[in-house]
Structure 1
């Protein structure tokens, strides 16, 4: 069944908009084909729901939440993490880069490069250093630096939070800080905001329990403390 066209358009818009289309958009079922034909061509003055043509939530968007678009979003990083990474960048550029250049020059002086293990090791190290420099420069130039000491989230877990967890079975306690992906270091208790643990914690409050998928299996933890420090 085709949609109305020509002179029938204005006559068909009013009853569909007034009676058939609710706030959620065109009705479902057989009438959907007719409604969409009119719905697509109606102006905002004719049909108040026409704005939904370009702003309807996709299948993965929660009800009532507009679709999210990634338009140059800046990755968050803590102020302390930014200082640490800038110090690493400075060391790479002023100390390690010159050192590996000297090592390559010395290895060249030993003759045949095909069998020169020192030369190849130095070149490999140079590649790593240059790659890390480029990564740090790019990430830091586009990062959104957040001073976590100024956050006022109370007992709620958001980016930058220091979270104390207690295993509900063993009472073993862990402490993590949720940080940017680039500054994450599990040995220091710094977990990336994109990690499964951080995703399970974000939005929770002190006193809540969370279930976390760990390499050793599923564990349940109670959030016993949430704090924000510089």
Structure 2
């Protein structure tokens, strides 16, 4: 183990540096809030298991779990729940799913979610992303310009809907 995080003389680890917290407001969907709570409980359980090990020479996993707990607790304290059901589906807003068509007519769905919920593979994007910023407030039939590193892309808003798991 690296001696960089070990206190002199005690063998105890210094706390690992905290994970960076986003400077943006922490808007969360109901699913995102529940996911943060589940993740916190899982990490707390992991830490309890780590502390119960008979052989605890390597305390780095415990320090990592403690760091993760601090991060998740901070994200939960700063969470701003937003219920997508308050939206009327006339314009793109946080928590809604928007279907867009590119210049070739290829359709893609995106859901605007909290940062901790973002997952490109699932089409979940954070409200601070360039795509979400371009889409927010757009209505069906509107064309928006998505400014991306590979060049600007014009997208037409085809449909706005609630997420499949959103309460209504």
When normalised by structure 2's length, the TM-score is 0.73
Residue aligned with 1:217, SS = coil
Which structure has more relative contact order (CA 8 Å, sep 6+)? It is 2
Instruction: Write out per-residue CA displacement over residues 22-81 of structure 1, whole angstroms, 9 at most, x where no aligned residue.
Output: xxxxxxxxxxxxxxxxxxxxxxxxxxxxxxxxxxxxxxxxxxxxxxxxxxx963210111
Q: Which of residues 57, 80, 100 is equivalent to 2:31?
A: 80
Q: Which of residues 118, 129, 132 is equivalent to 2:68?
A: 132
Could you say if the C-alpha distance between residues 107 and 197 of structure 1 is closer, same or farther in structure 2, counting changes exceeding 3 Å?
same
Q: Return the offset for 1:107.
A: 5.7
Structure showing the higher helix proportion among its residues: 1
| Equivalence for 2:100 | 165
Question: CA RMSD of the aligned region, Å?
Answer: 2.2
Q: Structure 2: how far apart are the matches of 1:193 and 1:162?
A: 12
Q: Return the offset for 1:98.
A: 2.6
Could you say if the C-alpha distance between residues 194 and 151 of structure 1 is closer, same or farther in structure 2, counting changes exceeding 3 Å?
same
Point out 4+ residue stretches in structure 1 off by more than 3 angstroms: 99-103, 125-128
Say yes or no: does 1:143 pair with 2:79: yes
Could you say if the C-alpha distance between residues 88 and 224 of structure 1 is closer, same or farther in structure 2, counting changes exceeding 3 Å?
same
Say yes or no: does 1:98 pair with 2:52: no
Q: Return the offset for 1:89.
A: 0.9
When normalised by structure 1's length, the TM-score is 0.55
Q: Return the offset for 1:156.
A: 0.2
Q: Return the offset for 1:102.
A: 5.0
Contact 1:155–1:227 under 8 Å retained in 2? no
Q: Structure 2: how far apart are the matches of 1:188 and 1:145?
A: 21
Q: What stretches of structure 1 of length at least 5 have no aligned partner?
A: 1-72, 109-118
Q: Structure 2: how far apart are the matches of 1:128 and 1:172?
A: 43
Contact 1:155–1:206 under 8 Å retained in 2? yes
Say yes or no: does 1:185 pair with 2:119: yes
